[in-house]
Amino acid sequence: MARPRSGPVVSAAVLALALALAGCAGKRTTVQAAGPPGGAPGAASAAPASTAPPAPPAPPAPPAPPAHVPRQPAPGTWLRGDLHSHTATHSDDARRQGGDPTRKTIQVAEYVGLDFLAITDHRTNDVITDPDATSGRMVILRGMEWGSGMHAGAIGLTRPIQPDYRTRGAGLAPEVDAVIDEVHAQGGVFVLDHPLDEGNHLWVVDPKAFDAIEVWHSQWSMRSWAPRTQRDLDDKAAGLGLTAVGLAPNPHLVTAVADRRGSSSLQALTFWESYLNSGRRVTAVGGGDRHMLLPQGSPTTHVYARSRDVQGVLDAIREGRTYISRTPVGPFVTFAADGDGDRVYEALIGDEVSPGAPVVFRAEVLGATGGRIDFVKRGQVLHTEAIVGPHHIAEVRDVPAALDWYRVDVYEAIDPAARNRHLALLQAAQATGQRWAALAAMAVMVPGGALHTNLGTVLPTVLLPDDVDRVLNASLKDPGYCRGAITSPIYAGR
């Protein structure tokens, strides 16, 4: 309540005093200036007290209702990068294939506009002490691609780790868990790389505490349309000695190979979603797996980081604040939730909303005009709609149950002419079963102007035309569309 002005207070007091001195007849009155309850400063009274009963005090003003303070999203900024890249300096495969040394590998990633890059050469700790593994423009994460029959990104290393498993059978899973513990002790993260790729690097053991799965590896459909089979899984389990000691393979892998809707890339996504449905919180990341020719960032992993440094990137992965896009320039996605009805979307990717109450999930998509957005709940499409402009906003309302999870898929349209021109060639090449055949088909699909020699790489750097890249990322279960983006979830609590 505002404090009363002093003018009326003085006038009332002077008037009361004048009347008293003049001996006016009648009741004496008390004149009191209005002030805050309880005799707050600013109150004044007439000189002699009145003999009449005092007036009851004014009731106190009702307390102001507490202001709603909206819960705000966590502070941070989106950074884009690639968590899977090789150099000819430390990787025999990249060296044989015409890859580039460390410094040039980093320069290529800088050229395509990445903010961070993980260098993950096969089964070697050498990058930890490589003086060329630095950048003035990007955050460099040192690590390795761990393992032989099963690959993983051990990212954020500061000292050497065991580069491969040494045992089979009953000792294999505990050995993998011990390696993960060592990576975590160094502050790093452990990513299951291309868990269902055509090289049969199937993750037949189920590690206890890994951080993420490489859900999107290289172009979604370039390497193979063929899904993995139960026979592949059984052969892998036998080869690693699990069958001989009566150990069942990873149950999430069993779920994945049963998904026959698309390629091994879709099975990798099913593998990840099976973990989510079991109640485990696992982050989705992508990896370009660059050896040569193509630059990093196909696909690109975006992280919502509190700081632009190694710690910030690793923390974002641990916290599940990621999404994957087809290229470094999009599509860009914002996915958030409003759990208290105030239209402030306080829960971001990786956050938690309360179960049992209505939640509005909101997605903003930049750069996928003509495509489609799917809201996914526990692996099933909850809502789908067409993307009708360059900045599309979509919302869906739902009441989550305990342990539910929600994420977003973005699909981009493939130009029909490009589809007719390129897709049959790519599928024919993949049908040969030869890994080089898809690269040969890509060489036919790519015009000469896409080959760049100005970067100083050992082989020309191929910057794919967008229509070709869309065909190479085609979604078999969604004719006419390619993969555009995949987000990590927003979770419902217990």
Q: What is the mean pLDDT of each run of 10 residues along the chain (494 residues)?
A: 37 34 34 32 37 59 57 88 98 94 98 98 97 98 96 98 96 98 98 88 96 96 84 95 97 97 93 98 98 96 97 98 96 97 95 97 97 98 97 98 98 94 86 79 88 95 94 93 98 94
Per DSSP, the residues of 70-131 read PPPPPP-EEEEEES-B--TTT-HHHHHTT---HHHHHHHHHHTT-SEEEE--BT--GGGG-T
**CA 365 to mean position of chain CA atoms:** 14
Contact 457, 319 (CB under 8 A): no
Cβ count within 10 A of residue 136: 5
Residue for token pair 């992965």: 317
Neighbours of 396 (CB within 10 A): 19
Q: What is the pLDDT, as a whole number, of residue 341?
A: 93
C-alpha span between 177 and 207 (Å, rounded): 6
Where does 100-224 have alpha helices with state H? 102-111, 172-185
- pLDDT for residue 26: 37
What the chain holds in terms of domains, given with CATH numbers, is 77-329 (3.20.20.140), 333-414+485-494 (2.60.40.10), 417-467 (no CATH)
Q: Which residues contact 76 (CB under 8 A, 6 or more apart)?
A: 304, 305, 306, 316, 321
Question: pLDDT at position 347, please?
Answer: 96
Helix axes 416-431, 435-445, angle to 10 degrees: 150
Q: What is the pLDDT of residue 24?
A: 37
As a whole number of angstroms, the distance between CA 25 and CA 20 comes to: 9
Longest dimension (CA), the chain: 120
pLDDT (0 to 100) of residue 20:
34
| Residue 70 pLDDT | 65
Q: Which of 125, 146, 282 is nearest to 214 (CA)?
A: 282
Residue 287: closest CA among 14, 90, 74, 85: 85
Compute the C-alpha angle 294/314/201, nearest 5°: 55
Extract the runs of DSSP E, i.e. beta strands, from 121-246.
139-146, 152-155, 189-192, 212-217
User: What are the counts of helices (DSSP H) followed by strands (DSSP E) for the chain?
Assistant: 11, 21
What is the token pair recorded at 69?
A: 């303070």
CA distances from 324 to 1, 197, 327, 371 (A): 54, 18, 9, 16
**Burial annotation 432-447 (CB, 10 A radius, 16+ → b, else e):** eeeeeebeebbeebbe
pLDDT at 280: 97
Can you give the pLDDT at residue 67? 55
Residue 425 corresponds to which amino acid?
L
Cα angle: 481, vertex 224, 92; to 5 degrees:
125
